[in-house]
Structure 1
Amino acid sequence: MVDLAVANVLFLADAVWDLRGVLTELIEGGVRVRMAVPTPGRDQSATVEDVFPSLSNTPGLKLVVHPELRTDVFRADDDLLVTSLVDGLAPALSPVLHLRRIGPAPLTAGYLTALDHVFDRATPWPGGR
Protein backbone atom coordinates (compact mmCIF):
# COMPACT_ATOMS: atom_id res chain seq x y z
CA MET A 1 0.00 0.00 0.00
CA VAL A 2 1.17 3.51 -0.83
CA ASP A 3 -0.40 6.66 0.61
CA LEU A 4 0.68 10.18 -0.25
CA ALA A 5 -0.65 13.24 1.58
CA VAL A 6 0.93 16.11 -0.29
CA ALA A 7 0.67 19.62 1.15
CA ASN A 8 3.33 21.05 -1.16
CA VAL A 9 3.27 19.64 -4.69
CA LEU A 10 6.46 21.52 -5.58
CA PHE A 11 8.34 19.42 -3.01
CA LEU A 12 7.02 16.26 -4.64
CA ALA A 13 7.93 17.55 -8.11
CA ASP A 14 11.50 18.14 -6.95
CA ALA A 15 11.68 14.64 -5.48
CA VAL A 16 9.94 12.58 -8.19
CA TRP A 17 9.71 14.19 -11.63
CA ASP A 18 7.97 11.13 -13.22
CA LEU A 19 5.37 10.63 -10.51
CA ARG A 20 2.67 9.36 -12.89
CA GLY A 21 5.03 6.71 -14.27
CA VAL A 22 6.09 5.58 -10.79
CA LEU A 23 2.50 5.36 -9.55
CA THR A 24 1.32 3.59 -12.71
CA GLU A 25 4.03 0.96 -12.28
CA LEU A 26 3.00 0.39 -8.64
CA ILE A 27 -0.70 0.15 -9.52
CA GLU A 28 -0.04 -2.28 -12.37
CA GLY A 29 1.93 -4.38 -9.88
CA GLY A 30 -1.16 -4.65 -7.66
CA VAL A 31 -0.30 -1.95 -5.11
CA ARG A 32 -3.16 0.15 -3.74
CA VAL A 33 -2.22 3.82 -4.20
CA ARG A 34 -4.05 6.76 -2.61
CA MET A 35 -3.07 10.41 -2.92
CA ALA A 36 -4.49 13.42 -1.09
CA VAL A 37 -3.71 16.90 -2.39
CA PRO A 38 -4.78 20.37 -1.29
CA THR A 39 -8.14 21.62 -2.47
CA PRO A 40 -7.49 23.55 -5.72
CA GLY A 41 -7.43 27.32 -5.31
CA ARG A 42 -6.49 27.41 -1.62
CA ASP A 43 -3.48 29.75 -1.43
CA GLN A 44 -1.01 27.47 -3.19
CA SER A 45 1.96 28.41 -5.28
CA ALA A 46 1.13 25.47 -7.58
CA THR A 47 -1.58 22.84 -7.82
CA VAL A 48 -1.19 19.18 -8.66
CA GLU A 49 -2.65 19.96 -12.11
CA ASP A 50 0.07 22.57 -12.70
CA VAL A 51 2.91 20.24 -11.77
CA PHE A 52 1.57 16.84 -12.90
CA PRO A 53 -1.11 17.64 -15.52
CA SER A 54 -2.05 14.04 -16.39
CA LEU A 55 -1.95 12.63 -12.86
CA SER A 56 -5.72 12.79 -12.34
CA ASN A 57 -6.16 10.44 -15.33
CA THR A 58 -3.98 7.67 -13.87
CA PRO A 59 -6.05 4.45 -13.88
CA GLY A 60 -6.32 2.90 -10.42
CA LEU A 61 -5.12 5.98 -8.51
CA LYS A 62 -7.47 7.11 -5.77
CA LEU A 63 -7.01 10.89 -5.90
CA VAL A 64 -8.76 13.01 -3.27
CA VAL A 65 -8.61 16.57 -2.00
CA HIS A 66 -8.31 17.83 1.56
CA PRO A 67 -8.63 21.50 2.57
CA GLU A 68 -6.15 21.49 5.47
CA LEU A 69 -3.02 19.55 4.54
CA ARG A 70 -0.05 20.98 6.44
CA THR A 71 2.78 18.55 5.86
CA ASP A 72 3.83 15.93 3.33
CA VAL A 73 3.53 12.33 4.50
CA PHE A 74 4.44 9.45 2.20
CA ARG A 75 3.70 5.90 3.29
CA ALA A 76 4.90 2.66 1.72
CA ASP A 77 3.70 -0.22 3.89
CA ASP A 78 5.39 0.35 7.28
CA ASP A 79 7.82 3.06 6.13
CA LEU A 80 7.03 6.76 6.24
CA LEU A 81 8.75 9.83 4.83
CA VAL A 82 7.61 13.04 6.51
CA THR A 83 8.67 16.53 5.51
CA SER A 84 9.42 19.09 8.12
CA LEU A 85 8.99 22.43 6.39
CA VAL A 86 11.23 25.24 7.56
CA ASP A 87 10.30 28.89 7.04
CA GLY A 88 12.60 30.53 4.54
CA LEU A 89 13.80 27.30 2.91
CA ALA A 90 12.72 26.03 -0.48
CA PRO A 91 10.66 22.83 -0.17
CA ALA A 92 13.45 20.81 -1.78
CA LEU A 93 15.78 21.82 1.09
CA SER A 94 13.36 20.90 3.88
CA PRO A 95 14.37 18.09 6.22
CA VAL A 96 12.74 14.70 5.69
CA LEU A 97 12.19 12.19 8.50
CA HIS A 98 12.33 8.48 7.65
CA LEU A 99 10.18 6.57 10.13
CA ARG A 100 9.42 2.85 10.30
CA ARG A 101 6.65 1.22 12.28
CA ILE A 102 8.23 -1.29 14.63
CA GLY A 103 5.90 -2.24 17.43
CA PRO A 104 4.01 0.48 19.28
CA ALA A 105 6.11 3.44 18.09
CA PRO A 106 4.15 6.55 19.16
CA LEU A 107 5.68 8.97 16.63
CA THR A 108 5.07 6.67 13.67
CA ALA A 109 1.62 5.74 14.99
CA GLY A 110 0.75 9.43 15.20
CA TYR A 111 1.58 10.00 11.55
CA LEU A 112 -0.31 6.85 10.51
CA THR A 113 -3.34 8.07 12.46
CA ALA A 114 -3.02 11.45 10.76
CA LEU A 115 -2.98 9.76 7.33
CA ASP A 116 -6.14 7.82 8.18
CA HIS A 117 -7.72 11.10 9.32
CA VAL A 118 -6.80 12.82 6.04
CA PHE A 119 -8.25 10.07 3.84
CA ASP A 120 -11.37 9.67 6.02
CA ARG A 121 -12.17 13.37 5.69
CA ALA A 122 -11.07 13.95 2.10
CA THR A 123 -13.44 14.44 -0.79
CA PRO A 124 -13.16 12.97 -4.29
CA TRP A 125 -11.05 14.76 -6.87
CA PRO A 126 -13.18 17.46 -8.57
CA GLY A 127 -12.85 15.64 -11.91
CA GLY A 128 -14.78 12.71 -10.44
CA ARG A 129 -11.95 10.23 -9.83
Structure 2
Amino acid sequence: LKTDQEQVQIMKRRGGVGFDISTIRPKGMTTSNAAKTTDGIEVFMDRFSNSCREVAQGGRRGALMLSISVHHPQVMDFIKIKRDLKKVTGANISVRVSDEFMNAVKNNEPYVQRWPVDSKDPEI
Protein backbone atom coordinates (compact mmCIF):
# COMPACT_ATOMS: atom_id res chain seq x y z
CA LEU A 1 0.00 0.00 0.00
CA LYS A 2 2.85 2.38 0.79
CA THR A 3 4.34 1.85 -2.67
CA ASP A 4 1.00 2.68 -4.27
CA GLN A 5 0.66 5.86 -2.19
CA GLU A 6 4.18 6.96 -3.13
CA GLN A 7 3.44 6.25 -6.80
CA VAL A 8 0.37 8.48 -6.68
CA GLN A 9 2.30 11.33 -5.05
CA ILE A 10 4.99 11.20 -7.76
CA MET A 11 2.42 11.05 -10.56
CA LYS A 12 0.47 13.97 -9.10
CA ARG A 13 3.60 16.01 -9.75
CA ARG A 14 3.77 14.83 -13.38
CA GLY A 15 6.42 12.20 -12.68
CA GLY A 16 6.75 8.72 -14.10
CA VAL A 17 7.29 5.56 -12.08
CA GLY A 18 8.73 2.13 -12.77
CA PHE A 19 8.47 -0.98 -10.62
CA ASP A 20 10.12 -4.35 -10.93
CA ILE A 21 7.62 -6.85 -9.53
CA SER A 22 9.97 -9.85 -9.56
CA THR A 23 10.00 -9.96 -5.75
CA ILE A 24 6.25 -10.62 -5.54
CA ARG A 25 5.52 -14.23 -4.65
CA PRO A 26 4.10 -16.33 -7.50
CA LYS A 27 0.44 -17.30 -7.43
CA GLY A 28 -0.39 -20.16 -5.07
CA MET A 29 2.67 -19.96 -2.79
CA THR A 30 1.90 -20.48 0.87
CA THR A 31 1.96 -17.52 3.24
CA SER A 32 1.79 -17.10 6.99
CA ASN A 33 -1.22 -14.77 6.87
CA ALA A 34 -4.99 -15.40 6.84
CA ALA A 35 -5.06 -15.86 3.06
CA LYS A 36 -2.84 -18.98 3.31
CA THR A 37 -1.74 -18.63 -0.36
CA THR A 38 -0.71 -15.74 -2.59
CA ASP A 39 -2.74 -14.27 -5.44
CA GLY A 40 0.39 -13.59 -7.46
CA ILE A 41 1.43 -10.65 -9.59
CA GLU A 42 -1.89 -9.84 -11.31
CA VAL A 43 -3.40 -8.16 -8.24
CA PHE A 44 -0.44 -5.81 -7.91
CA MET A 45 -0.31 -5.09 -11.64
CA ASP A 46 -3.99 -4.10 -11.59
CA ARG A 47 -3.60 -1.98 -8.47
CA PHE A 48 -0.62 0.00 -9.75
CA SER A 49 -2.20 0.38 -13.19
CA ASN A 50 -5.52 1.61 -11.79
CA SER A 51 -3.77 4.17 -9.60
CA CYS A 52 -1.87 5.43 -12.63
CA ARG A 53 -5.07 5.86 -14.65
CA GLU A 54 -6.79 7.67 -11.80
CA VAL A 55 -4.09 10.32 -11.46
CA ALA A 56 -4.23 12.98 -14.15
CA GLN A 57 -2.79 16.48 -14.18
CA GLY A 58 -3.67 18.88 -16.95
CA GLY A 59 -5.19 16.08 -19.02
CA ARG A 60 -2.02 13.99 -18.76
CA ARG A 61 -2.12 10.77 -16.76
CA GLY A 62 0.83 9.35 -14.90
CA ALA A 63 3.43 7.18 -16.63
CA LEU A 64 4.00 3.65 -15.34
CA MET A 65 6.38 0.87 -16.36
CA LEU A 66 6.11 -2.58 -14.77
CA SER A 67 8.90 -5.07 -15.30
CA ILE A 68 9.54 -8.67 -14.28
CA SER A 69 12.49 -11.02 -14.51
CA VAL A 70 12.34 -13.83 -17.05
CA HIS A 71 13.26 -16.07 -14.08
CA HIS A 72 9.89 -15.42 -12.34
CA PRO A 73 7.45 -18.37 -12.56
CA GLN A 74 4.60 -16.05 -13.60
CA VAL A 75 6.42 -14.33 -16.47
CA MET A 76 4.00 -15.79 -19.04
CA ASP A 77 1.01 -14.51 -17.04
CA PHE A 78 2.74 -11.12 -16.99
CA ILE A 79 3.16 -11.14 -20.77
CA LYS A 80 -0.35 -12.38 -21.52
CA ILE A 81 -2.22 -10.04 -19.16
CA LYS A 82 -2.36 -7.29 -21.81
CA ARG A 83 -4.36 -9.58 -24.11
CA ASP A 84 -7.36 -8.65 -21.99
CA LEU A 85 -7.92 -5.06 -23.10
CA LYS A 86 -9.57 -4.23 -19.77
CA LYS A 87 -6.59 -5.20 -17.61
CA VAL A 88 -3.46 -3.22 -16.81
CA THR A 89 -4.46 -0.40 -19.16
CA GLY A 90 -2.47 2.21 -17.25
CA ALA A 91 0.96 0.62 -17.57
CA ASN A 92 3.59 -0.41 -20.05
CA ILE A 93 5.21 -3.77 -19.35
CA SER A 94 8.67 -5.16 -19.97
CA VAL A 95 10.42 -8.48 -19.32
CA ARG A 96 13.99 -8.35 -18.04
CA VAL A 97 15.92 -11.03 -19.94
CA SER A 98 19.15 -12.47 -18.53
CA ASP A 99 22.28 -13.87 -20.16
CA GLU A 100 21.43 -17.19 -18.51
CA PHE A 101 18.08 -17.31 -20.32
CA MET A 102 19.51 -16.16 -23.64
CA ASN A 103 22.28 -18.77 -23.48
CA ALA A 104 19.69 -21.49 -22.85
CA VAL A 105 17.73 -20.29 -25.90
CA LYS A 106 20.85 -20.02 -28.04
CA ASN A 107 22.00 -23.53 -27.09
CA ASN A 108 18.48 -25.02 -27.25
CA GLU A 109 18.75 -26.05 -23.60
CA PRO A 110 15.97 -26.34 -21.03
CA TYR A 111 15.43 -23.32 -18.83
CA VAL A 112 13.92 -23.52 -15.34
CA GLN A 113 12.26 -20.55 -13.69
CA ARG A 114 12.65 -19.94 -9.97
CA TRP A 115 11.56 -17.82 -7.05
CA PRO A 116 13.07 -15.82 -5.49
CA VAL A 117 14.45 -14.93 -8.89
CA ASP A 118 17.96 -14.05 -7.67
CA SER A 119 18.30 -16.82 -5.09
CA LYS A 120 21.00 -19.47 -5.16
CA ASP A 121 18.59 -21.63 -3.13
CA PRO A 122 15.12 -20.86 -4.57
CA GLU A 123 11.89 -21.94 -2.86
CA ILE A 124 10.49 -23.08 -6.22
Query: Which is bigger in relative contact order (C-alpha 8 A, separation at least 6)?
Result: 1
Same fold (TM over 0.5): no
Q: Considering only CA atoms, is the larger Rg found in Structure 1 or Structure 2?
A: 2
TM normalised by structure 1 equals 0.32
Of Structure 1 and Structure 2, which has the larger fraction of its residues in strand?
Answer: 1
TM normalised by structure 2 equals 0.33
